[in-house]
């Protein structure tokens, strides 16, 4: 895989797309001399604190409710190893290898800023794991999202001291086996290092990276597929006129309306019914800019907050300089927890309105489009039951929309008496998005079926190209068949972002541009 560029940990500006590039190997991460100088200076500050005997939380005290328990100089190193072991209490299925890798990337970047007292040798070992694709196994459950993601981060860094498991060369093996294969030895963590490793929001933030990435693609798909459904059902173009959205200038609304205008440009189908007697369309067609746009705005909000988090120091205590060490609350996950709950709702609504459009397509109320999207019904059920699946998925998403950040259960004997539950916010958001991908796949199939009945009229070049491409994967349905097979192909198209890539390719070839404002904000992350 070709390397696009290098990224300087601790110095360069990290974004969701850069984090993904680092995880996928298209960007390589390095430490500059200036970065390592700052890291070593912070490490030396911690050593001086230990030598002087000043009482500083987490360096020579216990943790949580044990913060008033003084630890002797000779026991400070044992304390750091013990904390990784005692806090490794995660349960449930492991998170994906990609998510664990992103966690590692985010933690390296935060520690490399030089405010955490980490040793250069520890930081270099973390980079070794990334570069050699030896990614620790991290359970999905156990974090309450304050004092950092303690349990998942503890599992992430158990391999540093020779414990835990890693995914390496396609297999899950013990760290001891990894050491046998590579010749590595366990690290001897210094004062504060264990605490620096496990305090932070990297589990929540890694989920945030994936939510920003996957939700943006759902939003792009929703506009494209919604435009195809609009054509199939002969909906009106007027609700997407720029003049309307200048009167209520939400960025997301304007952007979505512009995208749909571009997708429908040059459509013969629109021209064919321009003087029809229908006054207005149902909301699921007419209000796409408002509904898709609101979800776009939520996505933008998460992207902006996430970018701040990715470039922040979120462990505790923070070593500011020789005179100032602060035990604060930068590890608290609330800023991302609330935004992830908002994004989960935004994703769910994309699935909800998509399901409504599918139902609308089945009613047979649009001239030329048969009920259940099939001419010979009775003996055939047509596309009726596909909507049962989208109804089930949309309903499941609604049940997942309860905001995890609205809950707090005190932990640590009351020392940590308000927690964010942001880890649950992130996990739920990704679950919802995966369901939305399935709903959109089914709308892609049904919109293409409705679109077929408009032939020989043509749509705009973009939608015609998408329809032609889809027919190479899924045939027009004249009779019932095992539609689960079609759905699986549709899901694959959505997850592989094939129609998004096709649209971009055609636009480049035809020298087309989006008639959509705020492109930079919504198309980059």
- What residues are labeled active site? 57
What token pair was written down for 107? Answer: 């933690």
DSSP letter for 135, please: E
DSSP letter for 350, please: H
Contact 145, 333 (CB under 8 A): yes
Contact 426, 343 (CB under 8 A): no
Measure the N-to-C terminal CA separation of the chain; round to a whole number of Å.
22
What token pair was written down for 485? Answer: 């097979």
Give the other-Cβ count within 10 Å of 247's Cβ.
6
Task: Indicate if the alpha-carbon torsion angle 223, 227, 229, 230 is positive or negative.
Answer: positive
Please enumerate in sequence order all residues whose Cβ is within 8 A of that of 24, keeping only pairs 6 or more positions apart, or say none: 1
Radius of gyration of the chain (CA): 26
DSSP letter for 300, please: H
Query: Residue 419 in 3-state DSSP?
Result: coil
How far apart are the C-alpha atoms of 346 and 522, rounded to whole Å? 15
H/E element, 450? helix 422-452
What token pair was written down for 34? Answer: 């200036």
């Amino acid at each position: 895989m070709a390397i696009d560029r290098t990224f300087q940990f601790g110095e360069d500006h990290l974004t969701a797309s850069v984090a993904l590039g680092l995880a996928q190997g298209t960007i390589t991460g390095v430490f500059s001399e200036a970065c390592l100088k700052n890291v070593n200076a912070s490490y030396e500050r911690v050593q001086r604190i230990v030598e002087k005997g000043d009482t500083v939380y987490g360096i020579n005290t216990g943790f949580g409710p044990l913060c008033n328990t003084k630890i002797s100089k000779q026991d400070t190193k044992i304390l750091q190893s013990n904390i990784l072991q005692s806090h490794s209490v995660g349960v449930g299925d492991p998170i994906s290898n990609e998510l664990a890798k992103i966690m590692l990337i985010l933690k390296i970047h935060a520690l490399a800023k030089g405010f955490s007292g980490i040793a250069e040798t520890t930081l270099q070992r973390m980079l070794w794991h990334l570069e050699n694709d030896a990614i620790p196994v991290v359970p999905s459950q156990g974090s309450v999202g304050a004092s950092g993601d303690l349990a998942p981060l503890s599992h992430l860094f158990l391999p540093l001291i020779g414990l835990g498991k890693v995914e390496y060369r396609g297999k899950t093996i013990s760290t001891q086996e990894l050491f046998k294969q590579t010749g590595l030895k366990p690290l001897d963590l210094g004062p504060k290092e264990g605490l620096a490793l496990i305090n932070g929001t990297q589990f929540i933030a890694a989920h945030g990276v994936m939510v920003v990435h996957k939700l943006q693609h759902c939003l792009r798909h929703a506009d494209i597929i919604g435009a195809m459904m609009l054509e199939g059902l002969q909906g009106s173009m007027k609700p997407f006129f720029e003049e309307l959205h200048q009167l209520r200038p939400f960025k997301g609304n304007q952007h979505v309306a512009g995208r749909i205008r571009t997708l429908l440009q040059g459509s013969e189908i629109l021209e064919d019914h321009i003087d029809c007697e229908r006054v207005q369309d149902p909301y699921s067609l007419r209000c796409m800019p408002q509904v898709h746009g609101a979800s776009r705005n939520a996505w933008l909000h998460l992207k902006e907050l996430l970018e701040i988090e990715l470039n922040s120091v979120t462990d505790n205590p923070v070593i500011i300089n020789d005179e100032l060490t602060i035990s604060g609350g930068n590890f608290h996950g609330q800023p991302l927890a609330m935004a992830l709950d908002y994004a989960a709702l935004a994703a769910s609504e994309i699935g909800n309105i998509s399901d409504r459009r599918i139902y609308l397509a089945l009613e047979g109320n649009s001239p030329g489009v048969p009920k259940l999207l099939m001419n010979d019904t009775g003996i055939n059920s047509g596309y009726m039951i596909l909507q049962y699946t989208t109804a089930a998925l949309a309903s499941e998403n609604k049940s997942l929309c309860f905001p995890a950040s609205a809950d707090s259960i005190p932990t640590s004997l009351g020392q940590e008496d308000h927690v964010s539950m942001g880890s649950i916010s992130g996990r739920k958001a990704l679950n919802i998005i995966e369901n939305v991908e399935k709903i959109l796949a089914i709308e892609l199939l049904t919109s293409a079926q409705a679109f077929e009945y408009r032939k020989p009229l043509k749509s705009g070049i973009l939608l015609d190209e998408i329809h032609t491409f889809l027919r190479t994967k899924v045939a027009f349905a004249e009779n019932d068949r095992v539609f689960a097979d079609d759905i699986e192909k549709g899901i694959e198209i959505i997850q592989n972002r094939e129609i998004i890539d096709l649209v971009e390719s055609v636009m480049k070839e035809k020298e087309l541009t989006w008639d959509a404002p705020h492109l930079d904000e919504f198309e980059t992350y």
